[in-house]
């Protein structure tokens, strides 16, 4: 055998050996070990996703829903469901967009995209916002700052695989622009493994069916919820809102198991009662085949809904209060008789509580806003001169004026400075101090006086002279002792917080480096002036403490919690006592009868309570706020007069006359006592 023949034989032998090995391996794969390798042909993978738990509702004291969840369906682009290549992704994006538009919905894209026109002849969109987006795109892709619009469009089309090998579009120019804009929207919204992108909101069954039938890769339908307000525009200052977790709050929520993208209460009751309202999210497992199509879904961990929170608010009274404040301001303006007589009234506040529990039945601030349009209206609200975002009921501070005289009378009677029958001869001009001789309002207006009167008559006619004398006899220490016991200048313990106010006196002056307190300052403080400033809620709790005989309760908004959607009965927590003093039955009767005479002896005030079926006790107050504005108007009301169950306060900024502020209490008491 020659060399050539030997080489041929060797090659054939090697070939035969290779064929044998290959055949043996094939037999092993397909016959012997086929069960081991078959799953690779039918490979699947799973993904776990969060099932967002239902958030609890917020209800009034009778279980009437104030805030609940409203459900809708969104079409979203899911990161895990997208194809592997840019070309296939583009096809999926365009298919989803076509489906959205066919169903009559809007494709949601980031605003102010800087490119417009028909590729390749594109131009930059003018304007600062579009320019800012252009700069971000150029910076992200490291293009030159002076790149032309056609140049940028050509770069993006190439990067996104929208061009063939000859540089021509593989789709229409309109489709190319849509893909460019959508891909930038995904980047702007942080589209990734941890977050999907919403392509269309609040979709109907027609679009859901199309997405399901066409099995468009990347498209998923997800149920979402948002807070819905049963009484839009009412109780906005207390209900609050949901929002994304602030960066500074993330450690707190992380420790409690919240995901970073969770929506949490960021204000009002939504924030205050987050621990009750929040549910516990569940886990959904989705199985995909090797092509990315969903083949199965099941719930691994079911979600647990949050609990419903009941407030002490009565929504009927809340509506009456808010509508009443608006009408009250109109009433003031209609009765204005000239400059600085209420023509500038534009804002106010109202509170109403149960005198024996501290439960807040209504708490309103005007002007207000609508939570359903809050985000859209925010800039306008934030820049408004009358500050509708300010909750005046708890954060507005006002001089109490003659309302303060009720507490002065209570202190003087309790300390034995006077009795109900003590007569003081009021002469109009108070001349006890040689260097400071203030005048009663009646002396200023008529040159006259109220003459010899007792404390009941002094309250009815609101005689300044009488209370100058009581203030001097009491002294600032005893005066402020009772004011503090009744809650003035003290925290109300209201769950939503609020200003603590200013109780005028030596302590306040010393703390703030002001002039030393003098005895003449005490008589000014005794008629509700000096530095005295309190919130409407503080004034409300103060008058409630006097009405119930000397017990100051914590103001509260919390009535209880119930299981989600249940009708179970609620037992409110017991009232919390913050301070107390003994107001004798005789003193309490004297004060309440005097306040009842304030209402019955005034045609204006009594007319405002004409539809209230029980006698009402009240007291007016006015307070100067400068030489260029009308005086603030205040009114406190108690009913029934002989043994009050409820107490209310109304403040109308620039309301001119305290009697005018009785309008809103009249409206709310009418609803309460006719229920």
Q: What is the pLDDT of residue 41?
A: 53
In this predicted model, which residue has the larger pLDDT, 71 or 592?
A: 592
Q: Residue 569 — pLDDT band, cuts 50, 70, 90? A: confident
pLDDT tens readout for residues 433-445: 999 999 999 999 9
pLDDT tens readout for residues 159-170: 999 999 999 999
What lies within 8 Å, CB to CB, of 244 at 6+ separation is: 261, 262, 263, 264
Q: What angle do CA 98, 70, 285 make, to 5 degrees?
A: 65
Q: What is the pLDDT of residue 52?
A: 81
Q: What is the pLDDT of residue 214?
A: 86
Q: Name the nearest CA neighbour of 322 among 259, 391, 226, 425.
A: 391
Report CA-CA distances (Å) from 554 to 203, 289, 398: 47, 61, 20
Distance in angstroms (rounded) separating the CA atoms of residues 568 and 556: 21
Q: Residue 270 — pLDDT band, cuts 50, 70, 90? A: very high
What lies within 8 Å, CB to CB, of 14 at 6+ separation is: none
Q: Residue 67 — pLDDT band, cuts 50, 70, 90? A: very high
Q: Name the nearest CA neighbour of 433 among 469, 462, 474.
A: 469
Question: For residue 13, is pLDDT > 80?
Answer: no
Structure tokens at 524: 């000014």
CA atoms within 13 A on the CB side of 502: 19
Backbone angles phi, psi at 79, to 5 degrees: -55, -45
Distance in angstroms (rounded) separating the CA atoms of residues 534 and 36: 80
Q: Residue 260 — pLDDT band, cuts 50, 70, 90? A: confident
pLDDT tens readout for residues 274-317: 999 999 888 888 887 877 677 888 899 998 999 999 999 999 99
Question: For residue 473, is pLDDT > 90?
Answer: yes
Give the chain's largest Cα–Cα span.
153
Q: What is the pLDDT of residue 10?
A: 42
Across 371-375, average pLDDT: 94
Question: For residue 662, is pLDDT > 90?
Answer: yes
Question: For residue 49, is pLDDT > 70?
Answer: yes
Q: Residue 258 — pLDDT band, cuts 50, 70, 90? A: confident
- pTM, whole model, 2 decimals? 0.83
pLDDT tens readout for residues 457-468: 999 999 999 999
What lies within 8 Å, CB to CB, of 569 at 6+ separation is: none
Q: What is the pLDDT of residue 229?
A: 96
The CATH 3.40.710.10 portion of the chain extends over 393-556+577-614
Backbone angles phi, psi at 605, to 5 degrees: -70, -45
Residues in a beta bridge with 258: none
Backbone angles phi, psi at 55, to 5 degrees: -85, 140
What lies within 8 Å, CB to CB, of 519 at 6+ separation is: 433, 472
Q: What angle do CA 133, 139, 142 make, to 5 degrees?
A: 140
Q: Name the nearest CA neighbour of 76 among 182, 176, 201, 178.
A: 201
Question: For residue 25, is pLDDT > 90?
Answer: no
Range of weakest confidence among 30-34, 60-64, 99-103, 622-626:
30-34
Maximum average pLDDT range among 1-15, 125-139, 637-651: 637-651
Helix, strand, coil in percent for the chain, rounding step 5? 40, 20, 40
Distance in angstroms (rounded) separating the CA atoms of residues 217 and 96: 9
393-556+577-614 belongs to CATH 3.30.930.10: no
Across 176-190, average pLDDT: 90
- Give percent above pLDDT 70 in the chain: 93
Question: For residue 254, is pLDDT > 80?
Answer: yes
What lies within 8 Å, CB to CB, of 67 at 6+ separation is: 57, 58, 227, 228, 229, 230, 239, 269, 270
Question: For residue 7, is pLDDT > 80?
Answer: no
Q: What is the pLDDT of residue 42?
A: 61
Question: For residue 34, is pLDDT > 70?
Answer: no
In this predicted model, which residue has the larger pLDDT, 203 or 52?
A: 203
């Amino acid at each position: 055998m020659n060399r050539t023949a030997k080489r041929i034989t060797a090659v054939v032998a090697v070939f035969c050996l290779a064929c044998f090995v290959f055949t043996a391996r094939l037999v092993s794969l397909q016959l012997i070990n086929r069960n081991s390798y078959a799953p690779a042909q039918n490979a699947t993978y799973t993904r776990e996703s969060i099932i967002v738990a239902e958030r609890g509702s917020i209800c009034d004291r009778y279980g009437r829903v104030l805030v609940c969840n409203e459900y809708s369906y969104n079409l979203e682009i899911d990161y895990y469901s997208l194809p592997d290549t840019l070309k296939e992704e583009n096809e999926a994006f365009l298919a989803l967009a076509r489906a959205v538009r066919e169903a009559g919905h809007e494709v949601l894209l980031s605003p102010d995209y800087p490119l417009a026109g028909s590729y390749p002849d594109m131009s930059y969109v003018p304007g600062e916002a579009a320019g800012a987006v252009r700069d971000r795109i150029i910076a992200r892709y490291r293009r030159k700052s002076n790149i032309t619009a056609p140049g940028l469009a050509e770069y993006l089309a190439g990067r996104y695989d929208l061009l063939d090998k000859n540089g021509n579009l593989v789709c229409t120019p309109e489709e190319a622009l849509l893909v460019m804009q959508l891909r930038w929207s995904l980047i702007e919204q942080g589209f990734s493994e941890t977050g999907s992108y919403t392509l269309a909101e609040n979709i109907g069954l027609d679009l859901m069916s199309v997405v399901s039938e066409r099995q468009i890769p990347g498209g998923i339908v997800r149920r979402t919820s948002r807070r819905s307000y049963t009484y839009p525009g009412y109780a906005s200052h207390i209900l609050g809102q949901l929002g994304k977790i602030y960066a500074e709050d993330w450690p707190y929520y992380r420790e409690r198991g919240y995901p970073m993208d969770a929506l949490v209460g960021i204000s009002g009751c939504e924030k205050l009662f987050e621990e009750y309202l929040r549910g516990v999210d569940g886990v959904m497992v989705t199985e995909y085949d090797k092509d990315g199509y969903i083949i199965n879904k099941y719930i691994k961990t079911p979600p647990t809904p949050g609990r419903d929170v009941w407030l002490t608010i009565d929504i009927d009274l809340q509506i009456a209060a808010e509508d009443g404040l608006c009408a009250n301001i109109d009433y003031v303006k209609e009765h204005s008789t000239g400059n600085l007589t209420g023509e500038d009234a534009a804002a106010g506040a109202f509170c109403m509580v149960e005198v024996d529990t501290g439960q807040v039945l209504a708490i309103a601030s005007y002007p207000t806003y609508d939570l359903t349009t809050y985000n859209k209206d925010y800039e306008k609200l934030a820049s408004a001169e009358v500050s509708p975002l300010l909750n005046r009921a708890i954060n507005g501070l006002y001089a109490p004026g003659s309302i303060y005289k009720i507490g002065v009378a209570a202190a003087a009677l309790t300390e034995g400075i006077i009795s109900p029958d003590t007569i003081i001869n009021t002469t109009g001009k108070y001349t006890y101090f040689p260097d400071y001789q203030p005048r009663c309002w009646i002396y200023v207006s008529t040159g006259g006086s109220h003459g010899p009167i007792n404390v009941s008559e002094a309250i009815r006619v609101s005689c300044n002279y009488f209370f100058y004398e009581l203030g001097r006899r009491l002294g600032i220490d005893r005066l402020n002792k009772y004011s503090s016991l009744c809650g003035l200048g003290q925290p109300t313990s209201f769950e939503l917080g609020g200003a603590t106010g200013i109780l005028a006196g030596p302590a306040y002056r010393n703390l703030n480096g002001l002039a030393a307190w003098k005895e003449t300052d005490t008589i000014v403080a005794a008629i509700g002036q000096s530095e005295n400033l309190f919130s409407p809620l503080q004034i409300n709790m103060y008058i409630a403490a006097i009405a119930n005989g000397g017990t100051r309760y914590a103001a509260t908004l919390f009535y209880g919690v119930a299981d989600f959607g249940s009708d179970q009965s609620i037992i409110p927590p017991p009232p919390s006592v913050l301070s107390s003093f003994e107001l004798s039955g005789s003193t309490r009767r004297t004060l309440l009868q005097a306040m009842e005479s304030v209402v019955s002896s005034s045609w204006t005030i009594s007319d405002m309570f004409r539809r209230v079926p029980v006698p009402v006790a009240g007291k007016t107050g006015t307070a100067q706020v400068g030489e260029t504005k009308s005086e603030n108007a205040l009114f406190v009301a108690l009913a029934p007069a002989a043994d009050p169950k409820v107490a209310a306060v109304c403040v109308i900024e620039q309301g001119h006359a305290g009697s005018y502020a009785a309008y809103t209490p009249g409206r709310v008491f009418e609803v309460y006592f006719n229920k």
